[in-house]
Amino acid sequence: MKKIITLAAVSLLSLAFSTAYADENTIKQSIAKSMPTMKIDAIKPSEVKGLYEVLVGTNVFYVSDDGKYLIEGHLIDIAARKDLTEGKLSESHVKAINKLGTDKMIIFKPKTSKYTVTIFTDIDCGYCRKLHSEIDSYLAEGITIQYVFFPRTGKDTESYKKAVSVWCADDRKAALTAAKKGEAVKAKTCANPVDEHMKLAGEFEVNGTPTIVSEKGTVYPGYLPAKQLVEMLKGENAPK
């Protein structure tokens, strides 16, 4: 009897696995046919029966198991009052930033770092300049600032060229500070990560600067003064 139960359990598990695999293939084929440019990074069952979670870059979508319907939005656990999608988005943000790597960022570090944020910045953006003019306030709060470029005017514009020149400068931090003060920076070109920064901004759906991303992957659009930012970061790191 025990052997029969064990075999039945294995059969059910095998059936569930093959069904899930078939559903994933159905979803992949449906998306490939309707949205051929969409690159799927992962597919897995969501918390809702019949609905699959599809990861595309740093975005999360939900697709029915027959591949006919796609839902763009957040999945909420009503009983737990919890946004299930937000946590997954945050995880994907952290992975994307880690994949870029700190060697492709311009970093301002305090003596003792308590928090780290990555900021999408545009040299010609007024609030980006305001934020950087207060860099000492952020450092005083123990916040490490990791800058990546997002020239909002697009590739090969003046803002883009300034970003490249800053990256190619002998002293990137000094060049960035000078550029944000409106000072001229010597035009230079070299191998640079600005296009990668812009691609990452697209994945994050950044549409304004500055955009601040915490270590936990939470996105804060717009300028935040140091005192306000540190309180938000403390809240993220507080015990739940």
Tell me the whole-structure pTM to 2 decimals.
Answer: 0.78
- Report the top-level CATH class of 2-85: alpha beta
Q: Which of 204, 213, 198 is nearest to 167 (CA)?
A: 198
CB 118 within 8 A of CB 150: no
Q: Enumerate the domain spans of the chain.
A: 2-85, 103-237
The total number of residues written for the chain in this structure: 240
State the Cα–Cα distance between residues 110 and 138, nearest whole angstrom: 8
Q: What is the pLDDT along the chain (240 residues), one digit of tens a residue?
A: 444 445 444 343 343 434 455 588 888 888 888 888 888 888 888 888 988 988 887 888 889 988 898 888 898 989 888 888 888 888 889 999 999 999 999 999 999 999 999 999 999 999 999 999 999 999 999 999 999 999 999 999 999 999 999 999 999 999 999 999 999 999 999 999 999 999 999 989 899 999 999 999 999 999 999 999 999 999 887 665
- With CA atoms as reference, report the closest residue to 54 among 37, 41, 68: 41
For residue 62, the cross-strand partners are: 53, 71
Give the helix/strand (H/E) hosting 176. helix 172-180
Chain position carrying tokens 């609030």: 127
163 within 8 A of 147, measured Cβ to Cβ: no
- Name the fold adopted by 103-237: Glutaredoxin (3.40.30)
Active site positions, annotated: 122, 125, 128, 152
